Structure 1
Amino acid sequence: MKISVAALTFFFFYACVAEITAQPTGDRDDGTIQSSGVKDCGAAEDQKTNGQLLVILRELETKLRDIQKELGVLKSQFQGKGSENVGPFNTDITLVYKKIYANTGSFNPRTGIFIAPVKGIYYFSFSGHNVSTKPMGLQLMKNGEQMVTVYNHPAGNRFETATNGMTLKLEVGDQVYMRLMQNTWVMDNRNDHSTFIGHLLFPL
């Protein structure tokens, strides 16, 4: 007797469902139990899949927040420029820059102090301009400690510019700023000769 392809397919399907639902040998095979088994199996699989998707979604949300934080950190930078003559004074002072061309929030333009938002490697550079009838002394400072210095000695009535810079490893909250040395001055005008620049190279 010939058995049709449809009959074989149905028999195979029924055998699979019976195995999944673990029905006893004596159970009815009128279709009711088969349908219930398929529904139960499908519901269980759907619930399992939904649970797995929820876990993956939460992991992606956490990674997205971390990436957003990293992107915010990587934008840490500032650029300030002077616009007038400062000094001389009978004591050291922290320079405050009148023009701010870029600032992502870690540089305080009122105090002239940059506060590191994250542990990392930063780069700072600065320049100073003066008429050498009086000396100019500038120091890059970190937490009250001198890092590098430029100094122009009196040399007659001529214009001079000095620059310097360095890479620093900073912890969160470290302060970096420029100090004008005692009895020296720095000159600037609309040409913006005197500058202070810093930015994060990479976080640690």
Structure 2
Amino acid sequence: MGLIKVSPSTQLPCETWDCDCVFKYQKSCCCVANNMYQLSVDTFEILTTIWEGLNNLKRDIDVLTGQHTAFAASMGPLTSPLRCFGPFTRNMPISYSNVTLNNDRAYNPSLGTFTAYDDGYYIFTFTAYSNLITTGLRQYFQLQLMKNGEPVVAVWENNREDTEDSSTQVVLLPLERGDQVYVELLAGRYICGDLKRNMFSGYLLYPN
């Protein structure tokens, strides 16, 4: 099929797609050239969006069908019946060093910190246990769950009657990639006795 010859004096409508104009006389057909350029830009943006969507879909499928992010840890084994953690002059993060589960290695036992690898909703639970039968101290503990340095929930006991006590908190938290969660003991407080009963765990409920 032959090409339509266009004289330089002919005025082309901006929406006319004329190959001879585009490839031979672009200087006089800037409207058509701009349309072609915009089409290439739009096509690239659409393909980029599709690529990102497929990557996100693959990640979600891997999370839902693969190994879920989860961890479980407790404080170290008891070395003495009089052993206590605390008191300290400042709030002290607890490093639950006895790790029994750590999928994706999202939990750092040295720091006691969980770091989210994916956006989503996470379940966390921690138990505070203190046994003062052999110490003669008053029951005086307070632990709180922290998200990025801010307290979320806490457990505490402050009386002279209980010699053995425990408390547990369970919380659902929305996290973004890089958010950190840990448990800390408040300044001046302590927990004693069978410390391995103090536990911290969490898992990804579903990705966002």
Do both share a fold (TM > 0.5)?
Answer: yes
Aligned identity (percent) is 30
- Cα distance change, pair 183–73 in 1 and its aligned pair in 2 (3 A): farther
Q: CA deviation at 1:188?
A: 4.6
Which shows bigger deviation, 145-154 or 83-92?
Answer: 83-92
- Cα distance change, pair 174–76 in 1 and its aligned pair in 2 (3 A): same
- Cα distance change, pair 153–73 in 1 and its aligned pair in 2 (3 A): farther
Q: CA deviation at 1:64?
A: 10
Q: CA deviation at 1:143?
A: 0.2
**What is the aligned residue count?**
143
Q: Residue 70 of structure 1: which of 42, 63, 72 is its match?
A: 63
Residues of 2 paired with 1:63 and 1:163: CA distance?
A: 35
Structure 2: runs of 5 or more not aligned? 1-54, 79-83
- 2:205 corresponds in structure 1 to 201
Structure 1: runs of 5 or more not aligned? 1-61
5 Å matches for 1:10-49?
none
Bigger CA radius of gyration: 1
Q: Residue 80 of structure 1: which of 73, 77, 98 is its match?
A: 73
- 2:183 corresponds in structure 1 to 178
5 Å matches for 1:137-152?
137-152=142-157
Indicate conservation of the 8 Å contact 1:74/1:202, yes or no. no
How large is the Cα RMSD of the aligned pairs? Answer: 2.6
TM-score, L = length of structure 2: 0.62
Give CA-to-partner distance per residue, 1:123-178, whole Å, 9 cap, x none: 00000111362401000000000000101103246111111120000000000000
- Cα distance change, pair 138–64 in 1 and its aligned pair in 2 (3 A): closer
Alignment of 1:95 with 2:94, yes or no, is: yes
Q: CA deviation at 1:121?
A: 0.3
Q: CA deviation at 1:106?
A: 0.2
TM-score, L = length of structure 1: 0.63
Report runs of 4+ in structure 1 exceeding 3 Å deviation. 62-69, 71-74
